[in-house]
Structure 1
Amino acid sequence: MEQVRQARNVALFIFEQVEPLDFAGPFEVFISGSNRGQDFNVYTVAEMEGPIQALGGLSINPAYTIHNCPDPDILVIPGGWGSRKEMNNETITSWVRDVSNDVEILLSVCTGALILAKAYVLDGLKVTTNRLAMKELREIIPASTEIIEDIRYVDNGKIVLSAGISAGMDAALYVVERLLGEERAIQTANIMEYDWKKA
């Protein structure tokens, strides 16, 4: 009898002044690609309990905190103006560093790359971010890390980084493709009526 695989836990980290589409885009990709929840269990995580104010005043209630969330198989770190503050939040960068040891995939969107850089998980990798934040990223990465410009996303195996905002949806679709096959990724994009731009 074929063994049914447990749904992968997909955690989307949110914080004050997060860019809404940076997390909501991948959130939609993973729920649309989940085969009605059978393949992905998708949820939001914040540092603490209570509503998060995203850019534009959007209020979001995280499902969990970093202290009580299910162990993620996939962790998504979005960007937004708030990433500049959170990249210096030792509680967050330590959590990202610890969780990165056990996840199957760590995906950053836009300036979420700044948080990954400060979590010291980018050594020797190829990275990208929002084109307007390349200089900021260049200032904090190790000399062994290579910035790739003019690309939608870059895959280092466990760690995948994407450029700005909508590129996070493209990267999330790529992750769906990597894990569940091209047919599922195309089906997911079609469900969303989204024009998937591959790297």
Structure 2
Amino acid sequence: MMNKKTIALLLFDDVEVMDFAGPFEVFSVTNELNQDRLLTLHTVAVTTDPVIARNGLSVNPDIQLDAMPQADIVIIPGGDGTREVLQQPAVMHWIQQISANAEHVLSVCSGALLLAGAGLLNDLPATTHHDVFDTLAELSPSTRLIRDQRFVDNGQIVTSAGISAGIDMSLYMVARLYGHDTAQKTARYMEYPYLTKEGNPQGQGRFDDNSPLAFM
């Protein structure tokens, strides 16, 4: 029997809603379509008090940072709140610590700034929201910025571009972990266009005129 993987999805005030909700939906649907056998997903924050996301959405994290010392998959979303998180040593230390032992570390949008601030993107190619490429370059000068792709896979660390790209990255990760057919079934359930592996060479994802989209 396949061991369930644990996902830690970081939340913080002023987090971008789709940055966390998109990956949450993808991985939750994948798990649901497989009789809840694949994944255990936790939303994690400094405390379990409500987090006020972008535009005032109140979200209740289910576990606090110090109770979540390890996970197989870590998801770091973005949003304006990342700037405040960069100034929070406890959260930045948690990102470093939990990422060191995780199988996969994923960022969405400006969540890449937190990976950069934690020193996790040194000498790696990465992408982020187009508005914060310069900020990422300041935080991690050795990072090679990829400006024209939806997500960039470095093996352990996968970064994605702005907001909705987190859905594409998450579907790609489902395919990496559980196979192309599982990712397609998830995308079909969500009625979301899925970038097929034929249009996704070497794990570098982009949507363009030459990339097939599939609801198959």
The normalised TM-score by structure 2 is 0.87
Amino acid aligned to 1:196: Y
Q: Structure 2 unaligned runs (5+)?
A: 206-216
**Partners of 1:95 and 1:109 in 2: CA distance:** 18
**Partners of 1:111 and 1:12 in 2: CA distance:** 15
**Partners of 2:189 and 2:68 in 1: CA distance:** 28
Partner of 1:159: 157
User: Alpha-carbon deviation of 1:70?
Assistant: 6.7
Amino acid aligned to 2:148: D
Where in structure 2 are the equivalents of 1:86-97 lying within 5 Å? 86-97=85-96
- Secondary structure (helix, strand or coil) at the match of 2:49 reads coil
**Partners of 1:184 and 1:44 in 2: CA distance:** 23
The answer on 1:99 being equivalent to 2:98 is yes
Partner of 1:42: 41
Amino acid aligned to 1:65: Q
User: Alpha-carbon deviation of 1:101?
Assistant: 1.1
Amino acid aligned to 2:170: A
**Partners of 1:68 and 1:14 in 2: CA distance:** 14
**Contact 1:9/1:70 (CA < 8 Å) preserved in 2?**
no
User: Alpha-carbon deviation of 1:139?
Assistant: 1.1
Moved over 6 A (4+): none
Partner of 1:75: 74
**Partners of 1:22 and 1:33 in 2: CA distance:** 18
**Partners of 2:36 and 2:123 in 1: CA distance:** 35
Q: Structure 1 unaligned runs (5+)?
A: none
User: What is the root-mean-square deviation of aligned Cα atoms in Å?
Assistant: 1.1
Partner of 2:210: none
Partner of 1:196: 194
Where in structure 2 are the equivalents of 1:14-53 lying within 5 Å? 14-34=11-31, 35-53=34-52
Deviations 1:86-135 (A, max 9, x none): 12211111111111111110000000000001111111111100011111
**Partners of 1:156 and 1:131 in 2: CA distance:** 19
**Partners of 1:183 and 1:76 in 2: CA distance:** 23
Partner of 1:126: 125
Amino acid aligned to 2:179: G
**Contact 2:69/2:98 (CA < 8 Å) preserved in 1?**
no
Amino acid aligned to 1:147: L
Quote the sequence identity (%): 43
The answer on 1:10 being equivalent to 2:7 is yes
Greater relative CO, 1 or 2 (CA 8 Å, sep 6+): 1
- Secondary structure (helix, strand or coil) at the match of 2:78 reads coil
The answer on 1:173 being equivalent to 2:171 is yes
- Secondary structure (helix, strand or coil) at the match of 1:99 reads helix
- Secondary structure (helix, strand or coil) at the match of 2:61 reads coil
User: Alpha-carbon deviation of 1:49?
Assistant: 2.4
**Partners of 1:97 and 1:68 in 2: CA distance:** 15
- Secondary structure (helix, strand or coil) at the match of 1:45 reads strand
The normalised TM-score by structure 1 is 0.95
